[in-house]
């Protein structure tokens, strides 16, 4: 994979075709050959689990304040981060998840039930994106009329990101912020008649004894929504593709659904739905044998760190008995994803619904899944053949294709 490396003094080219065709394979190669690498596009990229963990646990040397825009609390450091984090965490508490679970289950089952009884589906659009849109609007208390505008916004943002069109991205960000501000204003106008949902409750929050400013609420909602819509859809695509490729594991999870939480986390360790996060150095530091000066930007590549042989052995081995503490799917340290309980519940419920409603998921030999391009993870398209376990279904199955089936 010599074309990973840029033709000048830089260590690699993250936008090279060889990287974009299969980010996981390219990052595996970089982790072994140049674990702390520089490029114009991502600046310093970290590929090893050990180096990423060091950054995550040393927030004094590696700051989260790496964004040009207000990002609450993602781009904040203590003590500011601590104050906002304390405000946000109750929205994802065990009590909040238990309250939302019945509605979440209903949506998951509805999305699956709308799929055709048999034939081919494109799992990213028909399952992952539909579920992500419906579940996020339900969690925030937004009307279903926002589903399609949000879908169109995601598509436009994706296209502008791939094109590197900063002007278009800025315009799209303002459009999205405008939608949120309209939702806030509607609830203010309604007063006591406003729905008691997550969006309304954020309007009542205070930090350090003062109400949240609108720009802070917009930032919180933007981070929750953009992150949720992208990563949940990507996660569903990865999970469906993996199970379609591994029929023994698919069958085992149908018979033992209690294994789904461990299986989901492990499959998403193998193939990251969220590729990266950023940090910036606050002082000179040596990491991975490279000297970084103060103010250097870093890209933490989750998809690489979570496949590190030094921690996981064979990175492609699917094991349901791994130590959950080593899996960086939701990060680690003080910035671990606060929404992880919600994401885990949503993914468990959509996969429970899918496996309960099907007797067959298989890849299609002449229609391979198409890899997403950075900064997205997972796939842009996942064609699969499926058969539902509904009244009148035929027991005749098409033999699924696939490689060695782990955990079967």
Is pLDDT above 50 for 394? Answer: no
Pair 169, 178: CB distance under 8 Å: no
Give the Cα-Cα-Cα angle 93, 98, 100 (nearest 5 degrees): 95
In this structure, the number of other CB atoms found within 10 A of the CB of residue 368 comes to 13
User: Got the DSSP string for 234-302?
Assistant: HHHHHHHHHHHH-HHHHHHHHH-GGGHHHHHHHHHHHS-SB-EEEEEESS-EEETTEEE-TT-EEEEEH
What's the pLDDT band for 396 if we cut at 50, 70, 90? very low
Of 114, 74, 102, 96, which Cα lies nearest the Cα of 221? 74
Averaged over 46-65, what is the pLDDT? 96
Mean pLDDT for the stretch of residues 332-356: 96
List helix spans (H) across 45-129: 49-57, 80-88, 94-113, 123
- What's the CA gap between 398 and 385, in Å, rounded? 9
- pLDDT, residue 403, reads 40
Q: What is the pTM of this model?
A: 0.92
* Residue in 239, 241, 248 with CA at minimum distance from that of residue 349: 239
pLDDT value, residue 390:
65
**In the prediction, which pLDDT does 397 show?**
35
Tell me the average pLDDT across 324-337: 94
Average pLDDT over every residue of 224-247:
94
Mean pLDDT of 358-367: 93
pLDDT at 285: 97
pLDDT-derived band at 392, boundaries 50, 70, 90: very low
pLDDT above 90 covers a percentage of the chain that reads 82
**Inter-residue contact 348 to 261 (CB < 8 Å):** yes
- For residue 43, report the phi and psi dihedrals to the nearest 5 degrees: 55, -125
Query: Does residue 398 surpass a pLDDT of 70?
Result: no
Q: What is the pLDDT of residues 237-281, one digit of tens each?
A: 999 999 999 999 999 999 999 999 999 999 999 999 999 999 999
Q: Does 48 score more than 60 pLDDT?
A: yes
Q: Where are the domains of the chain?
A: 23-388
pLDDT at 2 over 70: no
How far, in Å, CA of 199 to CA of 218, rounded?
10
The first and second tokens of residue 240, run together, are 């469906």
Burial status of residue 177 (CB atoms within 10 A of its CB: 0-12, 13-18, 19 or more): middle
What average pLDDT does the structure give for the chain? 91
23-388 maps to CATH 3.40.50.150: no
Give tens-digit pLDDT for 293-325: 999 999 999 999 999 999 999 999 999 999 999
Report, as an integer, the average pLDDT of 354-358: 93
For residue 70, the model assigns a pLDDT of 87
Tell me the average pLDDT across 168-184: 92
Omega prior to 380 cis, within 30 of 0? no
C-alpha–C-alpha distance, residues 406 and 249, integer Å: 7
Using one digit for the tens of pLDDT, what is the confidence trace for 65-116? 988 888 999 899 999 999 999 999 999 999 999 999 999 999 999 999 999 9
Output the pLDDT for position 67: 85
């Amino acid at each position: 994979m010599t074309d990973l490396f840029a033709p000048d003094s830089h260590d690699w080219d993250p936008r090279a075709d060889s990287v974009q065709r299969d980010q996981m394979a390219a990052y595996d190669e970089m982790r072994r050959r140049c674990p702390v690498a520089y490029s114009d596009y991502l600046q310093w990229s970290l590929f090893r689990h050990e180096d990423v963990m060091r950054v995550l646990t040393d927030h004094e040397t590696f700051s989260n304040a790496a964004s040009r825009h207000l990002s609450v609390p993602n781009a904040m450091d203590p003590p500011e981060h601590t104050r906002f984090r304390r405000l946000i965490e109750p929205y994802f508490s065990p009590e909040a998840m238990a309250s939302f679970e019945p509605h979440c289950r209903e949506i998951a089952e509805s999305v699956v039930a709308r799929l055709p009884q048999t034939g081919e589906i494109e799992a990213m659009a028909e399952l992952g994106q539909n579920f992500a849109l419906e579940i996020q609007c339900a969690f925030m208390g937004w009307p279903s009329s926002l589903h399609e505008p949000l879908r169109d916004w995601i598509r436009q943002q994706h296209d502008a990101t791939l094109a590197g069109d900063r002007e278009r991205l800025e315009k799209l960000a303002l459009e999205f912020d405008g939608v949120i501000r309209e939702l806030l204003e509607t609830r203010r106008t309604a007063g006591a008649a406003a729905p008691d949902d997550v969006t309304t409750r954020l309007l009542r929050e205070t930090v350090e004894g003062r109400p949240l400013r609108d720009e802070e609420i917009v930032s919180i909602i933007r981070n929750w929504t953009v992150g949720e819509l992208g990563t949940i859809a990507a996660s569903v695509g990865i999970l469906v593709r993996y199970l379609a490729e591994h029929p023994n594991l698919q069958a085992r999870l149908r018979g033992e659904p209690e294994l789904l939480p461990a299986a989901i986390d492990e499959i998403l360790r193998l193939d990251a739905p969220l590729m990266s996060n950023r940090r910036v150095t606050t002082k000179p530091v040596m990491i991975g044998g490279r000297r970084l000066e103060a103010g250097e930007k870093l890209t933490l590549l989750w998809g690489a760190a979570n496949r590190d042989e030094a921690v996981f052995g064979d990175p492609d081995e699917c094991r349901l008995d791994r130590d959950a503490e080593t899996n960086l799917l939701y990060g680690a340290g003080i910035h671990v994803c606060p929404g992880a309980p919600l994401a885990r519940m949503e993914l468990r419920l959509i996969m429970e619904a899918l496996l309960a409603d099907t007797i067959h998921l298989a890849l299609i030999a002449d229609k391979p899944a198409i890899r997403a391009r950075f900064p997205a993870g997972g796939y842009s398209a996942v064609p699969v053949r499926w058969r539902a376990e509904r009244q009148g279904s035929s027991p005749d199955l098409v033999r699924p294709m696939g490689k060695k089936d782990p955990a079967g």
